[in-house]
Amino acid sequence: MRIAMMATGGIGGFLAVKLTEAGHEVATIARGEHLRAIQEGGLRLIGPTGNSQVTPWLATDNPVEVGPVDAIIFGVKGDALDQAAMACKPMLGENTVVVPFLNGVEASDRLLAHLPEHNVANGVAKVSTTISAPGEITQTGEFATFIFAERDSRPTARVETLQCAMEEAGVSAPVTDDVERELWNKFILFSAMSGVTAAGRCTIGDIRAYPELTALFKAVAAETAAIGRAKGVALADSVEEDTWALVSALPPSIRASTAIDLEKGLPLEIDWLSGAACRLAKEYGIPAPANETLYAVLMPHKAGQMN
Ligand SMILES: NC(=O)C1=CN([C@@H]2O[C@H](COP(=O)(O)OP(=O)(O)OC[C@H]3O[C@@H](n4cnc5c(N)ncnc54)[C@H](OP(=O)(O)O)[C@@H]3O)[C@@H](O)[C@H]2O)C=CC1
Ligand SMILES: CC(C)(CO)C(=O)C(=O)O
């Protein structure tokens, strides 16, 4: 397949290495020092079980050079979505599938402001990866699951082809019959994990150890689940308990990327996490005091560099 990464960060960089290794023509869209490093020395993945280095088919900051592709893996931070979406246009053909893997539940809908609906799919990523140096991606932990489908979850050849490509590349890409439920399952976990580990400057281990943090986490997860149900998402009756069971199984040192971004003084994705929960709660008439409090506490740090 011919696949473009918009862009080559934690998500796009990880998949670029895996899919290039599996023999696909991968175009990595990047910029600045990171782009120069990929052009000069290729893209390196530091993984939990070993490292790999690839030379992608193309490394550029100009999507016109790439031209139409079969699939675009769309992975930028929430605030960068609009500009990155517009930049994708030269890479679209009639049947190109654009799969967003942003955290939150709004990315696919937001893409429709810029891209034709028939090109846009929906997806959720369960992986922990970051740009650790120019030209280098580091993965923490071995989990790497990418769940995606057409926006209405109907099976199509283009989604199935990309899922097979990922599976053959050693990345889990299970079929789903309800991609919206998958997004909300993660959002229920992640709205709480992001808000609490960032505002509390704490880890998942702390959330389990301090009853006050446990209660706060569960309150956020329950609010977000209530919003999902009000929206009509087919959540399991046990989603709150299932979410806590997942938290109980996570390594104690884990924090959300939001907490790590806060520590580094980087901009926070809170408008698309706690902020999204608050917005959607208002829309559906659901009280969301825990999400609102966490959103407010993190607000002064939203633009970064204010630690
Ligand atoms: N990484 C992970 O483990 C996971 C991430 N996610 C979500 O996936 C999304 C992407 O995260 P992640 O990949 O980690 O983000 P990163 O910040 O690692 O990567 C995004 C990259 O996109 C680049 N970029 C943004 N806009 C453009 C543009 N217009 N043209 C070219 N390059 C551009 C950025 O460059 P620059 O630095 O120059 O702005 C950056 O290198 C987020 O919503 C995140 O929450 C979800 C699950 C796991
Ligand atoms: C928790 C994790 C690593 C799971 O994919 C994540 O999505 C994030 O921190 O951004």
CATH number (domain holding residue 252): 1.10.1040.10
143 lies in a domain? yes
Distances (CA, A) of 158 to 2, 46, 148, 149, 263: 12, 30, 11, 10, 40
155 lies in a domain? yes
ipTM of the complex: 0.98
DSSP 228-251: HHHHT----TTHHHHHHHHHHHS-
pLDDT at 206: 98
Distances (CA, A) of 132 to 83, 111, 125: 24, 28, 19
Q: Are residues 125 and 211 in the same domain?
A: no
**Cβ(30) – ligand 2 distance below 6 Å:** no
Q: Are residues 139 and 192 in the same domain?
A: no
CA distance 160 to 173: 10
Contacts (Cβ under 8 Å, ≥6 apart) of 221: 188, 189, 191, 192, 240, 243, 244
Q: Which residues of 124-145 are buried (b: 16+ CB within 10 A; e: fewer)?
A: bbbbbbbbbeebbbbbbeeebe
Domain that holds residue 208: 181-301
How many structural domains is the chain composed of? 2
Rounded average pLDDT per 10-residue block, the chain, 307 residues: 98 98 98 98 96 98 98 98 98 98 98 98 97 97 96 98 98 98 98 98 98 98 98 98 96 95 96 98 98 98 81
DSSP letter at 172?
A: B
pLDDT at 305: 86
Question: CB atoms < 10 A from the CB of 181, how many?
Answer: 17
Q: Which of 177, 206, 221 is the last residue of a domain?
A: 177
306 lies in a domain? no
Q: Are residues 115 and 233 in the same domain?
A: no
Ligand whose nearest atom lies closest to the CA of 198: 2
Q: Are residues 186 and 241 in the same domain?
A: yes
Ligand 1 atom with minimal separation from the 131 CA: 18
**Cβ(194) – ligand 2 distance below 6 Å:** no
Q: Whose CA is nearest to atom 4 of ligand 2?
A: 126
Could you tell me if residue 133 is left (phi over 0), alpha (psi between -120 and 50 degrees) or otherwise beta? beta
Q: Are residues 226 and 160 in the same domain?
A: no
Provide the whole-model pTM.
0.97
**CATH number, domain with residue 162:** 3.40.50.720
Under a CB-based contact definition with an 8 Å cutoff, are residues 306 and 252 in contact? no
Under a CB-based contact definition with an 8 Å cutoff, are residues 203 and 254 in contact? yes
CA distance 149 to 123: 6
Under a CB-based contact definition with an 8 Å cutoff, are residues 36 and 134 in contact? yes
Quote the ligand 2 centre to 128 CA distance (angstroms): 6
Q: Whose CA is nearest to atom 1 of ligand 2?
A: 256
Distances (CA, A) of 184 to 26, 56, 216: 30, 33, 19
pLDDT at 307: 44
Cis peptide before 16 (omega within 30 of 0): no
CA distance 131 to 45: 9
Q: Give the residues across from 74 on adjacent strands.
A: 6, 100
What number of H helices and E strands is found in the chain? 13, 9
Under a CB-based contact definition with an 8 Å cutoff, are residues 54 and 16 in contact? yes
